[in-house]
Amino acid sequence: MNLFAPFPNYQPGPEPTNNDSHVPRMSSGVTAVLLEDDAEAPVEQAMLAEPGLASTLLKVGHHGSVTSTRPEFLAGVAPGWAVISCWLHNHYGHPR
């Protein structure tokens, strides 16, 4: 397992935020799963500089919010499959 976020030098603020999220990648053979949790665009941008991001399955970030899983990140991960964790008719309007 690789942990892509938070980065070793990450300093959380006084209140929890989405960018405090852990982003693990697990692999076995040619299959890999990246679980993005609630990480947002700034963390995604930083992860793009890391090697080994490509994954077979991506758990889309922040329930499919507009703040996560930007096109550049999606292209960098290049998943064959993606899943979004959200409930039907939620008041946030996820996924977007």
Domain locations in the chain as residue ranges? 2-6+16-83
Mean pLDDT of the 24-52 span:
94
The C-alpha atoms of residue 38 and residue 80 are separated, in whole angstroms, by 21
What is the pLDDT, as a whole number, of residue 32? Answer: 98
Which residue would you say has higher pLDDT here, 5 or 88? 5
Give the three-state DSSP class for 83: strand
Q: How far is CA 89 from the centre of its chain?
A: 22
Checking if the pLDDT of 92 tops 90, the result is: no
pLDDT in tens, 76-86: 999 999 999 88
Assess contact for 53 and 77: CB atoms under 8 A.
yes
Query: Which pTM was predicted?
Result: 0.88
Checking if the pLDDT of 90 tops 80, the result is: no
